[in-house]
Amino acid sequence: MKLEGIHHITAITGHAQANLDFYAGVLGLRLVKKTVNQDDPGVYHLFYADEDGSPGSDLTFFEYPNAAPGRAGAGMVHRVCWRVASPDALDFWERRLAGRGVAVARTGGGRDGGDGGRGASGRDDGGDSGGGGGLIFTDPEGLAHELSVSDAPDEPLPASTPEIPADLALLGFDGVRVHSSQPHASTQTLGEVLGFTAQDDDGLWQARGRRRGSFYAYDPAPEGKGRQGAGTVHHVAFASEVADHEDWQQRLAQAGLRPTPVIDRFYFRSIYFREPSGVLMEIATLGPGFAVDEDPERLGERLSLPPAFEPMRERIESILTPLASPRAGATG
């Protein structure tokens, strides 16, 4: 029983329209589901991903309108790392982001071709602008992203937009970087319970199943406490085969991690728990996926509500801010 890398990453925004403009309009991801936070149905839950809404490429946001800016501290994901195909793609993104007023920095360089451990070199934020390496930037609310050239064997997961050629697009997650003041407290949970593989003694792990893998890397925590708010990650979900999901719940419970029961999120099923470094984790099933209630051609165009919330549609729609899709504008 193995986890198939990252399933999705969920963060917080205070401005859904600006968030949509950045992730769909600038980064070229596809809005694959526009729904509400099932634990708080008066707020949006926006899902961005590749063209098919695949696990492994799915970045989601809860909108808390005008939320105060947060700050990533110990026990929080502080950077979302994506794969691109080539150094040309890094050059493309450096130009595209800079051209839209986004500050970008080059990192690392001269990486070797080791599988999986690649993201670890993001540890060096020296801004060295040699060949290779990665590109770091933040979204308008301060959430940090890194793009790296990947030679991972996994299926690339691009979205398709007229402005971004497929060979230059983001190709799904490479991993996440996490702040921890006590990474060794998590060793047993990551290695023995979750089945991650240690890539070094310094807090770099790999979660790899039969189809995909992702890295999970610890960095020292900054001074001061973190604060959940706009521009911070709320949780990271790892992917489980549907058939293994109940067994994961039992395994987490037996390990004393106090997981939630399995919760049906309609698009997938979820279990939540906190790993010892403090990061809120989820294990989410690989199905049924976002086409369960929408035509795959029209994902994310209207507000999707799981059946339990459908009777509240009128009230929910009156609370939510209307959103203009950059994609709809681009394709006329």
Instruction: By CB under 5 A, name the binding residues for Zn ion.
Output: 10, 237, 282
- Specify whether the CB–CB gap between 115 and 208 falls below 8 A: no
Q: Residue 308 contacts by C-beta under 8 Å, 6 or more apart in sequence?
A: none
The full DSSP string for 184-202 is GGGHHIIIIIS--EESSTT
Q: Least distance from C-beta 269 to Zn ion, angstroms?
A: 11
- Specify whether the CB–CB gap between 123 and 58 falls below 8 A: no
d(CA 78, CA 189): 20
Nearer to Zn ion, 63 or 282 (CB): 282
Q: Least distance from C-beta 166 to Zn ion, angstroms?
A: 27
Vertex 207 angle, CA 203 and 211, to 5°: 155
Nearer to Zn ion, 85 or 237 (CB): 237
Q: Least distance from C-beta 63 to Zn ion, angstroms?
A: 15
Nearer to Zn ion, 10 or 54 (CB): 10
Nearest to 208 by CA among 238, 184, 242, 181: 238
Kindly list the strands in the beta sheet with 204-208, ordered across the sheet, starting from the edge strand earlier in the chain. 105-107, 134-138, 144-149, 76-84, 173-180, 213-220, 204-208, 197-198
Nearer to Zn ion, 149 or 237 (CB): 237
- Specify whether the CB–CB gap between 56 and 171 falls below 8 A: no
Q: Least distance from C-beta 272 to Zn ion, angstroms?
A: 8
Nearer to Zn ion, 31 or 237 (CB): 237
Nearer to Zn ion, 237 or 252 (CB): 237
Nearer to Zn ion, 51 or 282 (CB): 282
**Which residue, chain included where needed, has tokens 């023995």?**
192
Dihedrals phi, psi of 312, to nearest 5 degrees: -95, 10
Q: Least distance from C-beta 39 to Zn ion, angstroms?
A: 10
Q: Least distance from C-beta 331 to Zn ion, angstroms?
A: 29
Q: Least distance from C-beta 8 to Zn ion, angstroms?
A: 6
